[in-house]
Amino acid sequence: MPQIQTLEYILFQVTERARNDLFKPARTIVNNVMAKCAPELSAAPEGSRPNPDCLKKTTNRKKEQLWPKEPTGLDFTVDDTYLPNDFLKSDMQVGKARHLVFATTAQLEQLARARTQTLYATVLNTCFSGQRR
């Protein structure tokens, strides 16, 4: 395969795999494509080989175009396409707040057996009224 066709093929493969494997790390995608083209690349002069860092950036840019948009309010639907089955345990709204509970069945069983429980929460756009003590 001539040099230009090899570079075009690598770029095409990287962007296609980025489109098909949206949540696979760019490093893995680039390494797999580069390994597949290793014979052609090893024969090429050092300066004409594609830069893996540039390919990773290209991969991430392609994936960013396909990512779902970030929600801007509380009235959004949770796309559970990429979540494990039965991972979203609860989606409740209390007043102006919305609570999403994610856990596996094994995690809930372990939590039920625990003597001490710690709660971790990510608080976004919260206004506190009143005074702190």
pLDDT in tens, 29-85: 998 888 888 777 777 777 777 888 989 998 999 888 888 788 888 888 888 887 888
Mean pLDDT of the 106-113 span: 90
C-alpha to C-alpha distance for 65 and 82, rounded to whole angstroms: 17
Inform me whether the pLDDT recorded for 129 exceeds 60. Answer: no
Nearest residue to 40 via CA among 79, 76, 61, 9: 9
Mean pLDDT of the chain: 81
- Per mean pLDDT, which of 22-26, 78-82, 102-106 is the most reliable? 102-106
Check residues 120 and 76 and name the one with the higher pLDDT. Answer: 76
Inform me whether the pLDDT recorded for 22 exceeds 70. Answer: yes
Residue carrying structure tokens 């919305």? 98
